[in-house]
Amino acid sequence: MEDVDDFGPEKIVEVYDPSVGMRGVLVIDNTALGPGKGGIRMTPTVGIHEVKRLARAMTWKCSLAGLPFGGAKSGIVANPRAMSPKRKAEIVKAFAKSIQELSPSRYICAPDMSMAEPEMRIIAKVNGKKSVTGKPKELGGLPHELGSTGWGTFHAVRVAAKFIGLPLKGATVAIEGFGNVGWFVAKFLCEAGAKLVAVSDSRGMIYNPGGIHFEELAAVKKEKRTVTKYLPGKIMPNDAMPGLKVDILVTAAVPDFISVRDVKRIKAKLIVEGSNIPMTASVERLLWKRGVTIVPDFVANAGGVISSYVEHRGGSEKKMFKLVKDIVSKNTLKVLKEAKKENITPREAALDMAKQRILKARKQS
């Protein structure tokens, strides 16, 4: 099968329930370290290839973070914007039932694109509390709305900026996406003294080289439902962001945001991947050759799965925030140091570390 290697995937399941028109896919990539962990996303275009790439990212993410989880991911093919809450609930329930034989024994899910606490509640009711994280607080959850992924991504930025000698205070920042990840990254970076100059969402990008006030932006997003209504600022297409003159670029939304066509026009000194698979490894290598420092996705955005681990163990919010900060900070520095020492990309350095842990677990099993 295409894209199969010594690490996985172990299982690919396509599911369909004609009674409600539910279609979905589950990829369990690797369970050497524990049950596969990964979110469920709902988009009209999600498919096997995308879910496989995301599941593999989870394998590396959980391994590098030192968690007792493997990698997995799932997707429901549907347009959440074109359906009622009742209809969405029916589809989520049908998907949960379709994977009961594998969850939670081999797969533990979590929120992802267009999936949040209400959907996790449904899954917990169908497959049990241990089958899902990111649940409502009353079900023992540590909801992703606490900002665990954004908190971790912020610390990846902080450590990486210091590593390359870039003062965070006054550094100009562009953030792709203003959802759960981008919102918190923007908040924490602004509190640290960075200068936010560009933010995007699904409707476009707002750009103001003079600076964007976070609290005002957050209020506009809540009221107007888009960052493009923020004033003052210039509305630009999202694909213009990679070419902006900024010190730091944080990806926090869609896959494949940066393509090979963007390589020559990127001016950022540092790119931190708060989103999953925002570019291919080959694009990262081209940027690395140009002197751009990149913190890979499974290093920078591990806060979500670390939070999931704390929730799975019944831990507190305080413990979660500390563990996310400690693990992401330590791994970011370790990866960047190893990459510099070996003259390889940060992704190559991080992959080697993650692979070694999995191989060691296999030998001991």
Instruction: Quick: pLDDT tens for 67-98.
Output: 999 999 999 999 999 999 999 999 999 999 99
pLDDT in tens, 171-220: 999 999 999 899 999 999 999 999 999 999 999 999 999 999 999 999 99
Domain boundaries, the chain: 11-55+71-141, 148-356
How high does pLDDT run on average in the chain? 96
Matching CATH topology for 11-55+71-141 and 148-356?
yes
Residues 6+ apart with CB under 8 A from 126: 93, 96, 97, 100
Structure tokens, 33: 């370290």
> What residues are paired with 249 via a beta bridge?
174, 271
Structure tokens, 280: 């291919």
Structure tokens, 94: 């049908």
Q: Is 162 helix (H, G, I), strand (E, B) or coil?
A: helix
State yes or no: pLDDT of 7 exceeds 80: yes
* Dihedral angle computed from the Cα positions of residues 115, 49, 339 and 183, in that order, rounded to the nearest 10 degrees: -20
Fold of 11-55+71-141: Rossmann fold (3.40.50)
Give the span between the Cα atoms of 76 and 321, in whole angstroms: 30
pLDDT in tens, 101-160: 999 999 999 998 899 999 999 999 999 999 999 999 999 998 767 899 999 999 999 999
Residues 6+ apart with CB under 8 A from 134: 39, 110, 111, 116, 117, 120, 141, 142, 143, 144, 308, 311
Known active-site residue 97: no
Mean pLDDT of 289-309: 96
CB neighbours of residue 254 within 10 Å: 17
Which CA distances in Å does 340 have to 220, 286, 343?
Answer: 41, 16, 5
- The dotted CATH code for 148-356 is 3.40.50.720
How many H-runs (helices) and E-runs (strands) does the chain carry?
11, 13
State the catalytic residue, choosing from 37, 73, 187, 195.
73
